[in-house]
Amino acid sequence: MQISPSILSADFANLEADLLAIRSADWAHVDVMDNHFVPNLTLGLPVVEALVKVSPVPVDCHLMIDDPDRWAPGYAEAGAQLVTFHVEAAADPRGLARTLRAAGARAGLAVKPGTPWAPYEDLLPDLDMVLVMTVEPGFGGQSFMADQLPKVRAVRESVRRFGGEVWVQVDGGVSAQTIEQCAEAGADVFVAGSAVYGADDVGEAIAELRALVKDPGGHTHS
């Protein structure tokens, strides 16, 4: 069970300090938006290169951008250890996933709420993670879409059938109120933005989320 706080909810003028605040997390989730694929503009490759140098945890880049086939490999080359692109934007998702892996990153595939999972199941051998969006991508602080949980279950079931080591990430509205439902549905990587950075004590918020996805015996949900 891995916690990946989203710096979309951090203070962009103090990113280094806000990264250090999440040193007890597993990843730093960095949302790259290009104002084309989603109606918001955040940050790009030069900022990610700088973040990788100062982050106390590995960087998990979620690319909400057009033409990831062209742009995504640069993020792997910059040192992001997990690079996730949207299947809706990729011309050759399998080829891109292989390119990301060849560049030394884990390859993630993201699906928007309206995108079904079944057509992409056969990509699993080339993936390290599938990201099920539990909000429409583009903005932080949105409400969790519980109607996406069956998709999380479907992805987990595909991974079981495939038998590989593929993580299932959820992103959007993940909080102390929703994280257990996500774990029960089969997610094992949780992106939380405002639930972490909106807390008085960031480290405590991460610890609380981590505790919620462990059962009382200390075992994680399988």
Catalytic residues: 31, 171
Instruction: Please check whether residue 131 is in contact with residue 109, taking contact to mean a CB–CB distance below 8 angstroms.
Output: yes
Q: Helices (DSSP H) in 40-148: which residue ranges?
A: 45-54, 68-77, 93-102
Q: Phi first, then psi: what are they for 71, rounded to 5°? A: -95, -30
Structure-token pair, residue 168: 């299932």
Q: What is the side-by-side strand order in the sheet with 28-33?
A: 2-5, 189-192, 167-171, 129-133, 106-111, 82-86, 59-64, 28-33
Dist CA 216 CA 201 (whole Å):
23
Q: Phi first, then psi: what are they for 160, rounded to 5°? A: -60, -45
Write the CA distances from 142 to 108, 133, 197, integer angstroms.
22, 11, 14
Q: Helices (DSSP H) in the chain: which residue ranges?
A: 15-20, 45-54, 68-77, 93-102, 149-162, 179-185, 194-197, 202-212
Instruction: Please check whether residue 129 is in contact with residue 166, taking contact to mean a CB–CB distance below 8 angstroms.
Output: yes
